[in-house]
Structure 1
Amino acid sequence: MGFPGVWMTESESVVYRVVPKCACSTIGQIMYYSDHGRFFEGDIHDADQGLHKWAQDHSQGPIEANVRAHESFAFTCVRNPYARILSSFFDKICGIQRNGNRYRGNLVPLLVQKYGIEVGGDDGTEEFDQIRSFRRFLLFARDTIRWRRPMEPDIHWSAMSGHISTFIVNGGRYDRIFWTERFDEGMQDVLDHIETPHPVDLASIPRFNESEGHGPKRAHPVEAYFDDLSMHLVYEIYKRDFELFRYDVADPSNKMPLAEIDLDEVHAKLGD
């Protein structure tokens, strides 16, 4: 299986396991800058040089050798499951993607037909009942994750623990897992542990939110989208994420973690 979703600087200063919807664009650009002294022009997900990625054949040998020997500091980043699934809905379901099309082609028409979801019209700009549509999307996300129907679960709403576990199961070990909600603190700790060809001043780094502007603006606070049933669904889908990464399942309005992440526990529970 190898190390899907793993990026590594060409200098091999640091290894990162991508978790979708968890500041991965900003992290990728910081890694790219730390090697080259400039940012990648465009979406870092499109970069096919200047950064080792497992999806590139020529990168797999260097990544595998590095990770198995634990030669570099390895990290990843997580996000509150309530905010993450909501972000996925507005970006991937309601939004027009950077290629000018809907995400995954026939996915949105399928959701409109089978789940009665509205997405703001053809261009995502019309008003619609965001709360009702999101709750219907949650049913779809649960169906994909629990029963793999009507399709396989998508990387943007499958559990973070699933992404993170592949690195451990195949022989990797994390030195740091931090929260997007405390991004500066966590990313600075990573930078403090590594030596890069170009120094990174985190305070001057812009945030690269590549999903910004794809879809309609969220009209309500996070907690407004979650009633008792949808909170139950979110816990059913992301129980392990809440427990391992210490997020508050009882209060969708509290985006901050409740306690520190225990790395030994993460490796023990996700390494099976």
Structure 2
Amino acid sequence: MGFPGTWMTESESVVYRVVPKCACSSIGQILFYSDHGRFYDGDIHDATSGLHKWAFEASQPRIEANAKAHRSHVFTCVRNPYTRILSSFFDKIAGIQRNGKRYRGNLVPMLMQKYGVEVGRPEDGFAFDQIASFRRFLLFARDTIRFRKPMDADIHWSAMSGHVGTFVTNGGRYDQVIFTENFNSGMQAVLDRIETPVKVDLAQVPRFNESEGHGPTRAHPVAAYFDDLSMHLMWEIYHRDFRLFRYDFDDPSNKMPKGEVDLDEMHAVLGD
């Protein structure tokens, strides 16, 4: 299986396991800059050079050799499951993608037909009942994760522990897990522990949010989207994420982690 979702700088200064919807655009750009002294012109996910990615056949032997020998600092970044699934809904389901189309072609029409999800349109200012539609989407997300029906789970809403875990089960080990909610301090802690060809000043790094500006804005506080049933579904599909990454399941309005990740526990659970 190897190390899917893993990126590495060409200088091999650092290895990063991508977790979708967890600041991956910003992290990828910072890694690119740390080697080349410039940011990639476009979405870093589209870059086909300047960064080793497991998706590139030529990069796989380099990443695998590095990961198995643990030659470089290895990190990943996680996010509160409540805000992550909301972000996935507003970006991938309710939003229009960079190509001007809906995500994955017929996915949204299928959600409208089978789950009663509404998403609005740019022409009407994306006017729809966000809370009702999100809760119906959450039921769909649960079905894809637990039952792989009506499709396999998408990477943007499959559990973070699943993404993070592939690196462990295939012989890798993390040195650090940072939080999207404390991004600057976490990313600085990574940079402080590695040697890069180009020094990175995080204060000068622009925000890279590739999903921003092409869909509806969240109209309510996070907690408004989650009633008792929604929270039950969240625990059913993300209980390992809440536990391992120290997020507060009982209070959806508390987006901050309750403590640092216990790396030994994380490796024991994910490597099982």
TM-score interval, normalised by the smaller of the two chains: over 0.9
Q: Is the Cα contact below 8 Å between 2:122 and 2:215 reproduced in 1?
A: no
Task: Report the alpha carbon displacement of residue 121 of structure 1 after superposing the two structures with TM.
Answer: 2.6
SS at match of 1:186: helix
Could you tell me which residue of structure 1 aligns to residue 64 of structure 2? 64
Residues in 2 aligned to 1:158 and 1:130: alpha-carbon distance in whole angstroms: 21
> Is the counterpart of residue 101 in structure 1 residue 101 in structure 2?
yes
Cα offsets for 1:77-103 (capped at 9, x unmatched): 000000000000000000111111110
**Counterpart residue identity of residue 157, structure 1:** W
Could you tell me which residue of structure 2 aligns to residue 30 of structure 1? 30
- Which residues of 2 match residues 141-180 of structure 1 at below 5 A? 141-180=141-180
Q: Is the Cα contact below 8 Å between 1:96 and 1:124 reproduced in 2?
A: no
Cα offsets for 1:118-166 (capped at 9, x unmatched): 0013667331000000000000000000000000000000000000000
Q: Is the Cα contact below 8 Å between 2:126 and 2:215 reproduced in 1?
A: no
Q: Is the Cα contact below 8 Å between 1:142 and 1:233 reproduced in 2?
A: yes
Residues in 2 aligned to 1:26 and 1:126: alpha-carbon distance in whole angstroms: 27
Residues in 1 aligned to 2:5 and 2:197: alpha-carbon distance in whole angstroms: 24
Residues in 1 aligned to 2:124 and 2:171: alpha-carbon distance in whole angstroms: 43
Unmatched segments (≥5 aa) in structure 1: none
Identity fraction in percent: 76
Could you tell me which residue of structure 2 aligns to residue 229 of structure 1? 229
- Which residues of 2 match residues 236-251 of structure 1 at below 5 A? 236-251=236-251
So what's the TM-score if we normalise by structure 2?
0.99
Residues in 1 aligned to 2:41 and 2:100: alpha-carbon distance in whole angstroms: 19
- Tell me which stretches of 4 or more aligned residues in structure 1 moved more than 3 Å: none
**Counterpart residue identity of residue 165, structure 1:** G
Q: CA RMSD in A?
A: 0.9
**Counterpart residue identity of residue 225, structure 1:** Y
Residues in 2 aligned to 1:165 and 1:192: alpha-carbon distance in whole angstroms: 25
So what's the TM-score if we normalise by structure 1?
0.99
- Which residues of 2 match residues 1-272 of structure 1 at below 5 A? 1-121=1-121, 125-272=125-272
SS at match of 1:7: strand
Q: Is the Cα contact below 8 Å between 1:94 and 1:124 reproduced in 2?
A: no
**Counterpart residue identity of residue 90, structure 1:** F
Unmatched segments (≥5 aa) in structure 2: none
Between the two proteins, the alignment pairs up a number of residues equal to 272
Residues in 2 aligned to 1:134 and 1:243: alpha-carbon distance in whole angstroms: 24
**Counterpart residue identity of residue 45, structure 2:** H
Residues in 1 aligned to 2:208 and 2:171: alpha-carbon distance in whole angstroms: 30
